[in-house]
């Protein structure tokens, strides 16, 4: 059995986009996780969801790994992006589009514009 840090690193390094969340992308178990998963789902981003409620070691381990106290946590190409508030702000400002473009992540640009238009 590998330690939790190794398990987290392997998941983050072997997937372009990873969301550590409470619940799953199809059934989030908290509002913050639901918001971030909702953005990624609406944008059509291909991502791996890791349900921290299913594994207490991962639930605490991801907080230690990122030195970030809350869930959800979004990683893109191995880089920690942030939690719900940061992802929301980045979506509305267009920074998330820029990050996805820079990292070569496929997403629906029109859907991103629709989110911004609906929240302006």
**Binding annotation:** 30
* Cβ atoms of residues 75 and 43 within 8 Å: no
**Binding annotation for [2Fe-2S] cluster:** 30
Distance between CA atoms of residues 29 and 91, nearest Å: 22
Residues 87, 22, 105, 46: what is their CA dihedral angle, to the nearest 10 degrees? -140
Scan for tokens 């398990």, then name that residue.
7
Residue boundaries of the structural domains of the chain? 4-118
- Total-model pTM: 0.96
Distance between CA atoms of residues 42 and 91, nearest Å: 11
pLDDT in tens, the chain (120 residues): 469 999 999 999 999 999 999 999 999 999 999 999 999 999 999 999 999 999 999 999 999 999 999 999 999 999 999 999 999 999 999 999 999 999 999 999 999 999 999 998
CATH class of 4-118: alpha beta
């Amino acid at each position: 059995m590998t330690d939790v840090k190794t398990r987290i690193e392997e998941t983050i390094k072997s997937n372009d986009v990873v969301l550590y969340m409470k619940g799953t992308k199809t059934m989030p178990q908290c509002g913050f996780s639901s918001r971030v998963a909702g953005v990624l789902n609406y944008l059509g981003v291909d991502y791996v969801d890791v349900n921290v409620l299913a594994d207490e070691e991962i639930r605490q381990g991801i907080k230690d790994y990122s030195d970030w106290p809350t869930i959800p946590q979004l990683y893109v190409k191995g880089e920690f992006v942030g939690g719900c508030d940061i992802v929301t702000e980045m979506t509305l400002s267009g920074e998330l589009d820029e990050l996805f473009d820079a990292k070569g992540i496929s997403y629906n640009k029109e859907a991103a514009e629709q989110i911004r238009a609906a929240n302006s």
